[in-house]
Amino acid sequence: MPLIRLSQLAGEKRDASAEGADDRLSVVVYSEAGRRVGLVVDRIIDIADEKLVIQNPAQHRGVLGSAVVQKRVTDMLDVASVVREAIPGFAESSSPGV
């Protein structure tokens, strides 16, 4: 499964080679059209199952907008556009699970 480091897409400078072989990654798996990709994140703070209402459409690339989640204003990542930016043609490929 290909991995996308969200910190690199956000323009943050991190040295991936400094990570040891035993280091664990926090990965969120995204699936579309039978394909999967792992989104490498710095950490997972919480998981919430809520109905979202996007209140402020985003003005930034890769962000859908903001919503209130567990009484906190939270920016919502536009995962599909982030994946397509990192892997052009991701959803069009017919190779399931690659």
Q: Where are the domains of the chain?
A: 3-86
How much is the mean pLDDT over the chain?
82
The residue assigned the tokens 């956000």 is: 10
Average pLDDT of the segment spanning 28-55:
90
Which pLDDT score is estimated for 19?
A: 56
- For the chain, percent of residues with pLDDT exceeding 90: 22
Q: What is the pTM of this model?
A: 0.71
